[in-house]
Amino acid sequence: MTITPAIKKDYLVKLANSGKRADGRRFDEFRKIEIKTGIVLKAEGSARVKIGNTQVVAGIKMDVGEPYPDTPEQGVMSTAAELIPLASPDFESGPPREDAIELARVVDRGIRESEVIEVDKLCIEPKEKVWIIFIDIHILDYDGNLFDAASLASLAALMTSKVPAKRFELGEDYPLPLKEPPISCTSAKYNGVVVIDPALDEEEIAEARLTVATDQNGDIRAMQKGLNGSFSKDEINKVIKVSIDNGKKIREQLYNSIGK
Residues 194, 188 contacting (CB under 8 angstroms)? yes
Beta-bridged to residue 76, according to DSSP, are 132
Question: For another protein, which is the closer residue by CB, 53 or 216?
Answer: 53
Q: Specify the 3-state DSSP secondary structure of 164.
A: coil
Site mask, another protein, residues 172-211, x = CB under 8 A? ----------------------------------------
Strands 129-141 and 162-163: unpaired
Q: What's the per-residue H, E or C state across 232-246?
A: CHHHHHHHHHHHHHH
Question: For another protein, which is the closer residue by CB, 64 or 178?
Answer: 64
Report, in Å, the least distance between residue 54 CB and another protein.
Answer: 9
In the set 2, 4, 18, 93, which binds another protein (CB under 8 A)? 93
Site for another protein, residues 107 to 166, rule: CB under 8 A? 134, 136, 138, 140-143
Q: How far is CA 201 from CA 13, 35, 80, 162, 248, in A?
A: 11, 23, 26, 38, 26
Site for another protein, residues 33 to 92, rule: CB under 8 A? 39-44, 46, 53, 55, 57, 59-61, 63, 80, 82, 84-89
CA distance 141 to 81: 14
CA distance 156 to 171: 25
Question: For another protein, which is the closer residue by CB, 21 or 138?
Answer: 138
Report, in Å, the least distance between residue 215 CB and another protein.
Answer: 27
**Interface with another protein by CB under 8 A: which residues?**
39-44, 46, 53, 55, 57, 59-61, 63, 80, 82, 84-89, 93-96, 134, 136, 138, 140-143, 167
